Chain A
Amino acid sequence: MRGWLPVFKKEMRLYFGSPVAYAVATFFLFIAAFFFAPSFIQYADVSMRSAMQPQMGQSLNATENILRPLTYNMAVVLLFFIPMLTMRLFAEEKRSGTMELLLTYPLRDGEVLAGKFLAALALYAGILALTLSYPITVAWFTRIEWGAVLTGYLGLLLVGAAFLSIGLFVSSTTENQIVAGFGTFGGLLTLWLLGWFADSAQGALRTVIQQAAIIEHMESFAKGVLDTKDLVYYLSVTAFALFLTLRSLESKRWRG
């Protein structure tokens, strides 16, 4: 079962051999900075004033006021960025015909999938690690709750893995990268917006819709709470999407 490794390395070479990895990393950090900078500056301003009026300082908490919204906002930004990491993975191989060679090497379909998924996940984790510069910046000036922050990052990693596996599945169903990208984006957006419909639904349906909405489960992670229910949600979405991708690869062999 070491067949995933060559595929992983090849995908990494392709990410970094083209501008994809650099472009996605740059713009993700840029957008994240847009969410970080204003709340950071505002917080600094408020804390300065509260130094003069001590009763205001009661509710000041850097983790809660700066980093929690940042974590949640980054999860939303991922909706836009993850499709760009995954749209190429299968669609381009199918379009260019390299899929035909890849599937005739002595690799199991699962190994091909694992190599691609892990490569995308590793790139994403790398980009995510770069955003740690924001909590580190905050920690330079004030004390933050690292436990809560890292729980938030675990949530981001899990939500990213779920998004990536959905993206892989969509990419495996089409030869067109644009379709793969927009299909993934549309699918993720739908899963996100589901939460809005929950308010107008009743009873059990309301619970189902609420639980199915993909970003809702980020809230507890962002608060620094590790809830099994949310952990299981992301892991099972990931596993299910990867399972579907594997079936989609298999069906390619049948249909030719």
Chain B
Amino acid sequence: MIQVDRLTKSYGPVTAVHDVSFNVEKGQIVGFLGPNGAGKSTTMKILACFMAASGGSARVAGFDVFSQSLEVRRRIGYLPENSPLYADLPVAAYLDFVAEAKGVSRGARRSKVADVMDRCFITDMQHRLIGKLSKGYRQRVGLAQALLGDPEVLILDEPTIGLDPRQIAEIRALIKSLGGQHTVILSTHILPEVSMVCDGIIIINRGRVVAKGTQAELVEQVFPAARVEVEVAGPGEAIASSLKTLPGVTSVDAIGVEAAGARDGASRFVVESPRGRDVRGELVRLVAGRGWELLELHQVGLSLEEVFIRVVAGEEHAPQILETVVEEAQ
């Protein structure tokens, strides 16, 4: 439904998007991830036909975004970053304008507008001026205008920004319900949102696609080995060497006791095994059999956060990046 091929966009000397290629299948919901300034919004603006690319091509619903812009624009719903709206219009009047601009026939207009207001929970606010609405309501009016005209493809730039937790849950449920009939591409900073809503993930950094696939595929790409972090009370060296003898274990690394905050007399290890080979059961039996105490055991490298940090920043910057990611998510 969306085919992006070697898309490039430069603003003067600055290249915002460099050689970006990806495909989105019909009915899929794809999350577009990346740090601020990675080129997410630029890519979305090009897909929405707001501006032309400097190189490469993009097709939406089979039409070229540049040469067949009008055909593309008949089939998309676009929510730009920060949901820009006319502050001096009442909600219902604004949506009526959008419906007419999108070519919804006069007879169907009223019911279509009522329908999107209902789906975005803004019916109560329909006579209010948009400028008087809170950020959360404005965001939902923005989403409502994108849904008008029943577009095949929805391009949503940070649809849940500025919403409170309950509204986020409602909007996520709404977006999730759009999958199947509509193809959705959305950008967000909230990584759990992507896990919850999206079928596919595209991570972009500094204008380049650095990873794409489903969440499971990304985890596998980025962390080819399954890792288990374990903390055991007992003699460090003996534990390490016996862990290495476990079937399936490919490597055992001791991590600094102080750094990891382990208890006195305990040691921490990262145990790696091939993906798909779960060594946890055997590990527990081994430790218990030797009479050592198992204090902690957990899998690492499975969350989207870890994947994101790894592909975007490389490991050395991981802690700082994680903090900013967490801050933005909040």
Contact = CB atoms under 8 A, between A and B. Distances in A.
Contacts of B76: 104
B97 interface: yes
Contact of A101 (B51, B80, B89): B80
A253 interface: yes
Contacts of B11: 255-256
B82 interface: yes
Contacts of B87: 96
B52 A100 contact: no
Contacts of B88: 14, 17-18
Nearest to A6: B100
Contact of A105 (B42, B86, B98): B98
A97 interface: yes
Contacts of B100: 5-6, 9
A179 interface: no
A108 interface: yes
A10 interface: yes
A107 interface: yes
Contacts of A141: none
Interface size bracket, A side: 20 to 34
Nearest to A107: B101
Interface residues of B, number: 30
Nearest to A250: B52
A254 interface: yes
A106 interface: yes
B50 interface: yes
| Most B Cβ at <10 Å: residue of A5, A103, A105, A254 | A105
Interface in A56-109: 96-98, 100-108
| Most A Cβ at <10 Å: residue of B82, B86, B101 | B101
Interface string A33-71: 000000000000000000000000000000000000000
A3 interface: yes
A10 B73 contact: no
Interface of A: 3, 5-7, 9-10, 13-14, 17-18, 96-98, 100-108, 252-256
In the A-B complex, list the 9 residue pairs whose CB atoms are closest, starting with the nearest: A97-B84, A6-B100, A256-B51, A105-B101, A106-B73, A106-B74, A6-B101, A10-B97, A104-B48
